[in-house]
Chains A and B, each alone.
Chain A
Amino acid sequence: MTWDIALILSVDGLAGAAIYLLAGLGLVLVFSVTRVIFVPFGDIAVFSALTLAYLEAQRFPPTIGLVAVLAGLTVAKEVVTLIRRGQFRELPRAVLGWGILPMVPCLPAFLLAGRELPALVAIGLALILVVPIVPLLARLVFHPISHASTLVLLIAALVLHFLLSGLGLLFFGPEGFRTQPFLNGMVELLPGFRVSLQVLLMVGTSLALAALFFLAFERTLVGKALRATAVNRVGAQLVGIRPATTATLTYTVVSLLAGFVGILIAPSTTMYYDSGLIIGLKAFVAAIIGGLSSYPLTALGAIAVGMLESFASFWNGAMKDVIVFSLLIPALLVRSHFSNHSDDGSDEEEV
């Protein structure tokens, strides 16, 4: 391997790291606030990528139907629960919050889809269409078992991935898509060393979003409430922070992050309905390096995963996934060694 190749591979690695950074932040956020290990993250990214591809092809994105179905199911479930409990006064709010609000993004998408759209408009539409998906799914799947053990939640998350990839196939079909790059051309960073603008855009967007993410957490009361829930759930309840509300907010943020991941990755990788698991799990390797709790360490993990993947694919393209996932074992061992060995807490009852 020459220095030139190493440099090129490093740039590819950074592009990958940009993706895993956003995904990793999302995973850590969900886990710390809700204890859910959100395996289906990648599936949501796939939805946004495929939605954008449909919009670019001037086709009607099936995502609209998906959101409508999910909103319908969630409203039905909420209404039934409220009626059973006799809380009739809560009904209008539930219908508004779980039925009307999630459908709002569908309206512009419905009106604009099928025409030729400026790239930014298409991207914007794809993003807002994806945003309601995770909060709705989480309300349907995780909310009823929010007090169950982490393991039950993990099983549910894994099953949700299979559900989503099934839905992906049903709604988007088996073909793969690649979207238009936003920027074409290369820029010469060092003499003789050229980088595509697209890669720079990926890394730049990712860093900007990560910075925004931190600002929101450090500076706003809502962000602080999310952090507080993650740091101490009981303490959060005692000051009146509602776990269900913070969870919904968290899932909305994660939906948006997944949307960005899909948009950023789609121009350089062909996306299929089932590409999500691998993307999500690689981000997991990064998140686990961060102990599912530390954002800075997750960022380092993202760089490690991106680099390893890039160099591994040069060495043996077919085995690159094997190599990246093998990183998980040492990462877990190190993690487990440093986390406190209070085995006493393993008294989790499943049934």
Chain B
Amino acid sequence: MTTLFTIDDLHVSYGKVEAVHGISLELDAGRIVSVIGPNGAGKSTLLSAAIGLLPSRGRIMFDGSDISGLGVEDRVERGLCLVPETRELFGEMSVLDNLLLGAFSKRPNKAKRQALLDHVYKRFPRLAERRHQHADTLSGGERQMLALGRALMSEPRLLMLDEPSLGLAPLIVQEILSIVTSLRADGVSILLVEQNALAALESSDYGYVLESGEVALHGDSQALKSDERVFESYLGGV
């Protein structure tokens, strides 16, 4: 198995305040790696830095080359894709336009574009029904589907998901996470940031637990699920 993505001793600061203090992690091609931990642990900061929205110190390697110096758009063109916690949809544009723009970095021809659209609609039939609706009229679950669909339009090699279950009812969380796991079969590697620790570990191969901007613990997801230390980092020790 080849290593697709490596983060090495990453430091990220907001102004003078450092939020991520030297995190390192690795992701093998075709795997789902989850990053869990309480609020303020630096999970979202880590992803923002990985896609290039935030400046960082340290090395980020993707597919054998150093991408630390590249801008967001260059990273996207190389096949990285982030679905942020805030979704960042184009609210006043239609679902269809959102999806079409998802493929912007690929500049697909008409046939390819249609094929991508069909693929997304097949996965999310609800988006096909609402293709002419404005994105900001969708419900929370549908918005998350659109965010995922828009990401898939770029045929990403590494998909980074920030809190895909945030604010969603438990049933929809199940649906979203089962879609995430099914993406693995399509050859997409996934970095999954979740607060919903148990569900995240359930759907991933390997897990990192972040605490106060550092990796507190990492290991096989199945092993972490029964690790009392994960529980304590959330609910506090006795």
Taking the complex as a whole, does A directly touch B, i.e. does some CB pair lie under 8 Å apart? yes
- B189 interface residue, CB < 8 Å from A? no
**Contact at A241–B101, with CB atoms within 8 Å?**
yes
Looking at the complex, which one of B88, B100, B103, B154 makes contact with A235 (CB distance below 8 Å)? B88
By beta carbon, the residue of chain B nearest A241 is: B104
- A240 interface residue, CB < 8 Å from B? yes
A231: which B residues are within 8 A, CB to CB? 90-93
- A234 interface residue, CB < 8 Å from B? yes
C-beta contact mask, A236-257 vs B, less than 8 Å → 1, else 0?
1111111000000000000000
* Segment among B72-80, B179-187, B199-207 that sits at the interface with chain A: B72-80
With A238-B72, A240-B73 known as contacts, the answer to whether A225 contacts B104 (CB < 8 A) is yes
- A1 interface residue, CB < 8 Å from B? no
* B159 smallest CB distance to A (angstroms): 12
A239: which B residues are within 8 A, CB to CB? 76, 101-105, 150, 154
* B92 smallest CB distance to A (angstroms): 5
Indicate the size class of the contact surface on chain A.
10 to 19
- B51 interface residue, CB < 8 Å from A? yes
- B142 interface residue, CB < 8 Å from A? no
By beta carbon, the residue of chain B nearest A349 is: B15
A225: which B residues are within 8 A, CB to CB? 101, 104
Looking at the complex, which one of A236, A238, A241 makes contact with B82 (CB distance below 8 Å)? A238
How far, in angstroms, from A238 to B101 measured CA to CA in the complex? 10
Using a CB-CB cutoff of 8 Å, which residues 228-281 of chain A contact chain B?
Answer: 228, 231-232, 234-242
**Contact at A237–B73, with CB atoms within 8 Å?**
yes
* B6 smallest CB distance to A (angstroms): 22
Looking at the complex, which one of A224, A234, A236, A240 makes contact with B97 (CB distance below 8 Å)? A224
B104: which A residues are within 8 A, CB to CB? 221, 225, 239-241
B88: which A residues are within 8 A, CB to CB? 232, 234-235, 238
**Contact at A227–B93, with CB atoms within 8 Å?**
yes
B38: which A residues are within 8 A, CB to CB? none
- B84 interface residue, CB < 8 Å from A? yes
C-beta contact mask, B80-98 vs A, less than 8 Å → 1, else 0?
0110100011111100010
* B202 smallest CB distance to A (angstroms): 27
Using a CB-CB cutoff of 8 Å, which residues 25-79 of chain B contact chain A?
Answer: 51, 53, 72-73, 76-77
Interface residues of A (CB under 8 A from B): 221, 224-225, 227-228, 231-232, 234-242
Which 7 pairs between the two chains have the least Cβ-Cβ distance?
A: A240-B105, A235-B88, A240-B76, A237-B72, A231-B90, A240-B73, A239-B104
Interface residues of B (CB under 8 A from A): 51, 53, 72-73, 76-77, 81-82, 84, 88-93, 97, 100-105, 150, 154
